Amino acid sequence: MTLLFFHLIIFIFVSLAEASHNTSAGCAIIRPPRDGGIRYRGLTQEQIRNVQVLPVDYEIEYICRANRIIVGPKVRKCLPDGTWTDLSQRSKCLLPCAQVWTSLENGRVMVSPPGPAVEGTVLRYSCLSGFILEGRNTTECTKQGTWDSPKPTCRCECVCVCVCVCVLNVCF
């Protein structure tokens, strides 16, 4: 009897452990990024409201509110293990900063990190040889979608050349 009870306990424990990892049903619903939503392909609004688990291989797509762009994975897919792809990479909906600042007449602009100019993007300005930078050499895109300092300019580095004309030992 004790042996039967022991086997029953082990069976229940293994069944519960498998149930918690059983993902044949699919993936739990995940939340969209702030200022964004999720596009569920092929589902009606009512189905979206009532669904708790989406099937394996189902893809969701993040969408952002007007004037914002997605940074990070735009699409996530339900994996057989019950997780979504790329969950280690956060998706965000951010305001972009003006792209015109990413170029500089008679100079160079390094964008860090590469990609769209959004919150946290830093621009580093430098001028070509013969030009001097006027203004800050860096600017950062703020969460309001603006740069934190005015755009610098590259001004010509003038070199004066004097020409003397001498007439009767008098120089002009």
Domain boundary among 46, 66, 94: 94
Identity of the residue numbered 136: R
Tell me: pLDDT of 46 over 70.
yes
Condensed to tens digits (0 to 9), the pLDDT of residues 107-159 reads: 999 999 988 899 999 999 999 999 999 999 999 999 999 999 999 999 988 76
pLDDT of residue 93: 96
Question: Tell me, what's the pLDDT at 161?
Answer: 61
* Interacting residues of 13 by C-beta distance below 8 A, sequence separation 6+: none
pLDDT average, residue stretch 96-117: 90
**Does any domain span residue 104?**
yes
Residue 165 has pLDDT above 80, yes or no: no
pLDDT at position 98: 87
Are residue 123 and residue 138 in the same domain, yes or no? Answer: yes
Asked if 71 and 113 sit in the same domain, the reply is no
Residue of 151, 99, 104, 150 lying closest to 127 (CA atoms): 104
Measured in degrees and rounded to the nearest 5, phi and psi for residue 140 equal: -125, 140
One domain, residues 72 and 116: no
49 pLDDT higher than 70: yes
Residue 127 lies in a domain: yes
Number of domains in the chain: 2
The pLDDT, as a whole number, for residue 37 is 95
Both ends of the chain: CA-CA distance in Å? 122
On whether both 78 and 122 belong to a single domain, the answer is no
Domain range for residue 65?
Answer: 26-94
